[in-house]
A = this chain, B = another copy of it.
Amino acid sequence: MRLSQYFIPVLKENPKEAQIVSHRLMLRAGMIQQSSAGIYTWLPLGLKVLSKIEQIVREEQTASGAHEIKMPTIQPAELWQESGRYEDYGLEMLRVKDRHDRDMLYGPTNEEQVTDICRTHLKSYKSLPLNLYHIQWKFRDEVRPRYGVMRGREFLMKDAYSFDLSKDDARKAYNRMFVSYLKTFKRLDLTAIPMEADTGPIGGDLSHEFIILADTGESGVFFHKDWEQTNLVADISYDEDLQSVVDRFTSLYAKTDETHDEATCPVAKDKLLKRRGIEVGHIFYFGTKYSQKMGATVSGPNGEMKTLHMGSYGIGVSRLVGAVIEAKHDDKGIVWPASISPFDAGIVNLKPGHAGTDSITDQLYQDAKTEGFDILLDDSGDSAGAKLASMDLIGLPWQAIAGPRSVDKGVVEIKNRKTGASEEVTIKEASARLLAVLSG
């Protein structure tokens, strides 16, 4: 993409409303624009990242055996009256009356809706196990939205729902999701520690939050210091004994401040770390809490009616964009992991109109495009200094920089955004070298 034909409205000044670094950097890099409090438009650069994260989440959900559906955003109040949550949910639920004065709501989550689907269509235990997920916009009317997309009101969430015949089977579904979360966050280059958590308004008796450490996190977290040396490996096969995998990753103490109790904590004080963290995923087993109230049953192997055992599994897809930035930035801007970078590389033409810089940057651009890479070519009329600052700000993993001076020397600069390491390569070798670093 040529920047002159694209739309990245970079801000030169730090926006006053942004209290944390991810919010500030997303606004400055032209990724988002606020529409109203806690509600954002995703501009082209931001949407590219959001879509890449969404796609990784989708692939890992599908690989775990879950099936994608799409439930609507607007739900009928009746379903929530059946479960008893309509009144409980309070002011965070955005309630709507339609033109016929029917009570509706903008879904903050979908346990009721998906239970309704399954009670309609599932008749026999032979249809189980079943895990349905969707990636859809949700609304929670936070009293004080803040931190940009990290605690917005309208947000994109992946929520999966498992249906099983028994608690034992449901535990298997829970374990599959646990593993799929390890794999998902690994692909995002994040260290997300699974922590025992409170089940809150979802209910249930088994729950883990996946938390990445960040000073700006909202949750206080307590964990054994050996977590810092733990490799949250992702090359686990779904054919393995997943219970032992989950046991391994939950053997070290890790709790949020909602469940941590100093009096009962088994970890010696000198081995216990207290930090702040950002919740990026949350999984629950809640048994028959919804299926019982809503009559979601199937016939069992002996013909008897059995109430479905359920779990739900969320990942904050839009929140992850902010969370990744909290974890991956420096004083110059964002440092994207390659897997979700909006472009694979940026090419900077420091002086468009100069025959030499035009020629080499066009060549690099075309060669990388031909090889299937997605490249941002800065061919704009901005000053050289502004271009270099912007390219660092938006944080693509690799940069190729050509100006009149380097071209006169017969070289191009290739720079790694993360390490800052830069090398000069001859114009003749520049394409091959850029392709080599892009191919990792």
Contacts and interface: CB of A to CB of B under 8 A. Distances in A.
A214 B73 CA distance: 30
Give how many copies assemble into the complex.
2
Given A35-B76, A72-B154, A74-B154, 19 more contacts: A7-B67, A7-B69, A7-B121, A33-B121, A35-B71, A36-B76, A39-B74, A40-B72, A41-B69, A41-B70, A41-B71, A41-B72, A41-B113, A43-B69, A44-B67, A74-B153, A91-B99, A96-B96, A96-B106
Contacts of A73: 73, 137, 154
A120 B11 CA distance: 11
B44 A99 contact: no
A410 interface: no
A6 interface: yes
Range of interface residues on A (Cβ < 8 Å): 35 or more
A316 to B, nearest CB: 16
A186 to B, nearest CB: 25
Contacts of A6: 67
Contacts of A91: 99
22 contacts: A7-B69, A7-B132, A9-B120, A33-B120, A33-B121, A35-B72, A35-B76, A39-B72, A39-B74, A40-B72, A41-B70, A42-B71, A47-B70, A50-B70, A72-B137, A73-B137, A91-B99, A94-B96, A96-B96, A98-B141, A98-B153, A137-B137
Interface in A111-150: 113, 116-117, 120-121, 126-127, 130, 132, 137, 139, 141, 143
A388 interface: no
A405 to B, nearest CB: 26
A106 to B, nearest CB: 7
Greatest chain B CB density within 10 A among A71, A74, A104, A127 is at A74
A98 B94 contact: yes
Contacts of A141: 98-99
Contacts of A72: 35, 39-41, 137, 154
